[in-house]
Amino acid sequence: MDQPMRKRSNGQINVVLNSHKRTHVKDIVNREAAPKPFPQEHAALRDIEEELGALVGMEEMKKMVKEIYAWIYVNKKREEMGLKAGKQALHMMFKGNPGTGKTTVARLIGKLFQKMDVLTKGHLIEAERADLVGEYIGHTAQKTRDLIKKALGGILFVDEAYSLGRGGEKDFGKEAIDTMVKHMEDKQHDFILILAGYSREMDHFLTLNPGLHSRFPLVFDFPDYTVDQLMEIGKRMLNEKEYILSSDAERKVREHLALAKVALSSSAFSNGRYVRNVLEKSIRSQAMRLLMANHFDRNDLLTIRSSDLVLPKHETTPY
């Protein structure tokens, strides 16, 4: 038979008893306070947030992606209720140094927009100057149109886009810019153009065509990673490959990254790519050490020692 709830002298309920089980009220409260799962209609946002959450840093970017989702979703609700819903172009500009996650985020945005029916395919076409600029008059416009055609339903991602404006008035890069501007307007809801590059160079690039600036309503800044964030990127990479750094190796990598960020210019230091390259080379170095020693116990197979590290030499780097 069920027994009544017991109370402490201070009036707080302590436990609930019945004939089958004992349930602490604290557990009931914790279950009620737990965050509610996303409604099924927001599954697209949940999936992208999970993938963005796996990326180190980029807090502002993660916030902006959620705001874009909210804007598109609310506009769809307004349409359903017969209210005006602006069809703003979603072309974007990514500004930042190499290795700061620009291409990775572009792919995730493509996936999000495909799930939201903003894009029919959501695929990513990557391009650079050589893919757009031809060798004679008219060739560039055709190459650019062909790339845009491939990108329809998805995203055309042009890295180092500022290089299109470096050749002066007679350079065919300007023809590529003009062609892109025209198609951004004519097919603004059929594909998304993302131009990426260094912050200062991209600011100058926007001045090359009077129609460029107004056609990029979404501008994202990708800041350089801190040393702590670079270490986190490295550890995640090693963890995926089932490696660990010895304490001495971890200290040396941290010191090296701090010095490399100072020794190299922002254009030469490639952020996440830099630390991944260092660790990939160090893994190969560890493999050579183990092969020569002919010793393969589990701990040795797991551990990258300081002697395995392959650290590029820079003027201010003592290695």
Q: What is the pLDDT of residues 123-170, one digit of tens each?
A: 999 998 888 888 777 788 889 999 999 999 999 999 988 888 776 566
Please, what is the Cα angle at 66 between 62 and 68, to 5 degrees?
Answer: 115
pLDDT surpassing 90 at residue 56? no
Greatest mean pLDDT among 25-39, 49-63, 107-121, 170-184 lies in: 107-121
Q: Determine the pLDDT at residue 229.
A: 92
pLDDT surpassing 70 at residue 264? no
Q: Determine the pLDDT at residue 155.
A: 92
User: How long is the chain?
Assistant: 319
What is the maximal distance between C-alpha atoms in the chain?
A: 93
Q: Determine the pLDDT at residue 168.
A: 59
pTM reported for the whole predicted model = 0.74
pLDDT surpassing 90 at residue 237? yes
% of the chain beyond a pLDDT of 90: 29
pLDDT surpassing 70 at residue 178? yes
Which DSSP letter does residue 153 get?
T
- Coil vs helix vs strand at 306: helix
What number of other Cβ atoms are within 10 A of residue 221's Cβ?
Answer: 13
Greatest mean pLDDT among 73-82, 157-166, 181-190, 304-313 lies in: 304-313
Q: Determine the pLDDT at residue 152.
A: 93
pLDDT surpassing 70 at residue 26? no
In DSSP terms, which residues pair with 222 in a beta bridge?
Answer: 96
Between the CA atoms of 130, 133, 139 and 141, what dihedral angle is there, to the nearest 10 degrees? 130
Q: Determine the pLDDT at residue 195.
A: 92
Q: Determine the pLDDT at residue 157.
A: 93
57, 229 contact by CB (below 8 A): yes
Q: Which amino acid is it at 46?
A: R
Kindly tell me the burial class for residue 306, based on how many C-beta atoms sit within 10 Å of its own C-beta (0-12, 13-18, 19 or more). Answer: middle
Confidence of residue 31 (pLDDT cuts 50, 70, 90): very low
% of the chain beyond a pLDDT of 70: 81
Q: What is the mean pLDDT of the chain?
A: 81
Between the CA atoms of 66, 72, 73 and 77, what dihedral angle is there, to the nearest 10 degrees? 150
Domains located in the chain, CATH noted? 1-34 (no CATH), 40-222 (3.40.50.300), 227-308 (1.10.8.60)
Selected residue with higher pLDDT from 20 and 207 = 207
Q: Determine the pLDDT at residue 46.
A: 83
pLDDT surpassing 80 at residue 115? yes
Selected residue with higher pLDDT from 192 and 211 = 192
pLDDT surpassing 50 at residue 76? yes
pLDDT surpassing 50 at residue 18? no
Confidence of residue 45 (pLDDT cuts 50, 70, 90): confident
Which stretch of 122-136, 261-275, 278-292 has the lowest confidence by average pLDDT? 261-275
